[in-house]
Amino acid sequence: MTDLAYITASDALAGFAAKTLSPVEVLDALIARAEIVEPSINAFCWTRYDEARAEAKLAEQRWHDGTARPLEGIVTAIKDEVPIAGQPWSMGSLVYQDLVAEETSPFAQRMFDAGVIQHARTTTPEFSCAGFTHSKIHGVTRNPWNQEFAVGGSSGGAGASLAAGTSTLASGSDIGGSIRIPASFNGVVGFKAPHGRVPCEPPGGLDMYWHNGGLARTVEDMRLYQNVMAGPHPMDHRSIRPKYEIPAGIDDVTGLRIAFTTDFDGCFALDPEVDRNTRAAVEALRAAGATVVEVPIGLSRDLMNVATGYHFDSVWGRWIAAIMDEHRELLTDHTIAFAEYVARISGDTGNGWTQIEAEAALWAPIADVLESYDALLCPTLGTRGLIAGDDYYGHGLEVGGQQLDNYFETLITPVFNILSACPVLNVPSGFADNNVPTGLQIVGRTFDDATTFQIGAALERERPWLDAPERRPLQ
């Protein structure tokens, strides 16, 4: 049963089609695994095991009847942020501890229509506004690889569940790195599609930094999941027509020209292990036939603060501030810290720049690189890990020998929420010395999702990260 807990979605679908494997067997293996590891990692905030078993039996019948849908019977955990009619919808907050969603988001409905089986909801920091996952309502979610460390956020429970073997696929969302950060820290795959590729319900769909998406254990599983989720929806007028599908079997990078940077010319501090693992991935791609060149790309921290400060303050910060006026005692410290931080950087660093001027200035150097190269590689995060349960409220952290004022400064992900038309695939790049995984961002040209998967699949082939069962956490 342990092996079934780590079966890939693609292998499960093949087994279901051949009638050598049942969705019920996979679900039972995942539930059995969760009963062992959940007390340690706390990735689930709500479960529906009995309902899921009934749905798994129906999925098994669909495979026998020949009416199976694209992801029929694949067990998928859904983030607490996503509204699903009749289910609790706390968004990680005591403020909404009794809230039950009245409607189902098009993002969730698309998963259900494809045949996924939801067995659980995954933990998220309060209001999804942190790069780690803990809250007053659900407690601390811990990294399966090293429980002293955080799982990332805000889709932290999703990443931890995949790493721990309690889900086959998991949903996420990404407004400042909330898919890629937990994918990196948990050693799994996560994809931030171009804005509009996957529909968001309003008003979220109007936020150009917001991307719905998913996490998986392999590049192929992420491709299967993404192809189901992509496509226009009438609730989201920014969703892109026509539907875009990533082709199967693309992993040959011979002749591709790929650029890479480790720190954007000193804009980000890096722990040595992050730099080492990034360069190891570069060497693997060179061995696979790609031309990979280190290029100078200078980014400005001040301009990033202008763009993210103005944006997050107006979209989230003021909404949180209004909640703080009435419910401050219920809020988690990181929520208060986030609202105060984005208000400060929005007010202190403008220097006459508007948000869109800052975004244009940040895009210019990357646009030049992507005009000459097929893709850009860079680390997902500068740090080798954040401490589990630490709000980083009132203190920063040390990364690569540099003292940072705020942990946000070690996140290399928001660059590509600002530049929201670029697809970004996170894949594992290795482990730090503390046994916490590190991640690599594969950044594509605007709306060129396929090339990011092509490069990711080549890396997975050259450096398979699932071939060693002893590397699975929580043995």
Instruction: Compute CA 284 distance to the chain's CA centroid, rounded to the nearest angstrom.
Output: 24
**Which of residues 259 and 312 earns the better pLDDT score?**
259
Give mean pLDDT, residues 84-103. Answer: 97
Q: What is the pLDDT of residue 203?
A: 84
pLDDT in tens, 412-448: 999 999 999 999 999 999 999 999 999 999 999 999 9
Worst-scoring range by mean pLDDT, 94-98, 302-306, 330-334, 359-363? 302-306
Q: What is the pTM of this model?
A: 0.97
pLDDT in tens, 62-71: 999 999 999 9
Task: Give yes or no for residue 313 having a pLDDT over 60.
Answer: yes
Q: Return the closest-CA partner of residue 258 out of 302, 289, 220.
A: 289
Confidence at 1, pLDDT banded by 50, 70, 90: very low
Q: What is the pLDDT of residue 395?
A: 92
Task: Give yes or no for residue 374 having a pLDDT over 80.
Answer: yes
Worst-scoring range by mean pLDDT, 89-93, 354-358, 371-375? 354-358
pLDDT in tens, 328-370: 999 999 999 998 888 888 766 556 788 899 999 999 999 999 9
Q: How far is CA 103 from CA 80, 109, 230, 267, 411, in A?
A: 14, 10, 20, 42, 33
Q: What is the pLDDT of residue 317?
A: 83
**Alpha carbon distance 290, 35 (integer Å):** 44
Task: Give yes or no for residue 54 having a pLDDT over 90.
Answer: yes
Quickly name the fold that domain 257-302+353-462 has: Amidase signature (AS) enzymes (3.90.1300)
Task: Give yes or no for residue 470 having a pLDDT over 70.
Answer: no
pLDDT in tens, 191-211: 999 999 999 988 877 899 999
HEC assignment per residue over the chain: CHHHHCCCHHHHHHHHHHCCCCHHHHHHHHHHHHHHHHHHHCCEEEECHHHHHHHHHHHHHHHHHCCCCCCCCCEEEEECCCCCCCCECCCCCHHHCCCECCCCCHHHHHHHHCCCEEEEEECCCHHHCCCCCEECCCEECECCCCCCEECCCCCHHHHHHHHHCCCCEEEEEECCCCCHHHHHHHCCEEEECCCCCCCCCCCHHHCCCCEEEEEECCHHHHHHHHHHHCCCECCECCCCCCCCCCCCCCCCCCCCEEEECCCCCCCCCCCHHHHHHHHHHHHHHHHCCCEEEECCCCCCHHHHHHHHHHHHHHHHHHHHHHHHHHHHHHCCHHHHHHHHHHHHHHHHCCCCCCHHHHHHHHHHHHHHHHHHCCEEEEECECCCCCECCCCCCCCCEEECCEEECCHHHHECCCHHHHCCCCCEEEEEEEECCCCCEEEEEEEECCCCHHHHHHHHHHHHHHCCCCCCHHHCCCC
> For residues 27 and 52, is the Cβ–Cβ distance under 8 A?
yes
Amino acid identity at 399: V
Q: What is the pLDDT of residue 92?
A: 97
Q: What is the pLDDT of residue 206?
A: 83
Q: Return the closest-CA partner of residue 94 out of 390, 336, 327.
A: 327
Amino acid identity at 23: P
Give mean pLDDT, residues 294-303. Answer: 94
Confidence at 28, pLDDT banded by 50, 70, 90: very high
CATH number at 2-250: 3.90.1300.10
Range(s) within the chain of domains with CATH label 3.90.1300.10: 2-250, 257-302+353-462
Tokens of 189: 């795959």
Report the chain's mean pLDDT, rounded to a whole number.
95
**Alpha carbon distance 453, 197 (integer Å):** 15
